[in-house]
Amino acid sequence: MSEETIDTNVLGEKIVRVIKTIFDPEIPVDIYELGLIYDVFVNEDNEVKIMMTLTSPNCPVAESLPQEVEEKIKSIDEVKTAEVEITFDPPWTKDLMSEEAKLELGFL
C-alpha cells in the first residue's frame, strides 16, 4: 500500500463531513442528519456512489440537490468519480432522521 493510497474508510468519513454541509432548503437540518443519505460506497479506485432519497418525489430540489451532492463530493481531491443515485425505496420518513435532527425540528 503506497503512501498515496487513502483508506476508503477515511475517505468515507471525509465524504460524510462534506455531505453534512448540504442542507435541505425547506428544513434547517443537513441532509445526512435528515436521513436522506442511505449509503456511501467507496471502492479502491476512490470511485464514489451515493445512494440517497428525497423527502418526497415532488421535492422542489429533486433536480438540484443530487447535483449539489455530486459536485461537492467530486470536489474532494481524493475522489476520482462520484455518482448519486436517487431511490424512493424505502420511502423517506421522519423516523430516518437522527436524534439531533428530530430535536432541532421539535419532534422529540
pLDDT digits (tens, 9 = 90+) for 26-51: 888 999 999 999 999 999 999 999 99
Question: Does residue 18 lie within any of the structural domains?
Answer: yes
What percent of the chain has pLDDT above 90?
A: 77
Q: Which domain holds residue 86?
A: 8-90
Q: Which of 82, 90, 97 is nearest to 45 (CA)?
A: 82
Picking from 9, 29, 8, the residue whose alpha carbon sits closest to that of residue 19 is 29
Strands (E), the chain: 37-42, 47-52, 81-86
Classify residue 98: in a domain, yes or no. no
Residue 1 lies in a domain: no
The fraction of the chain above a pLDDT of 70, given in percent, is: 94
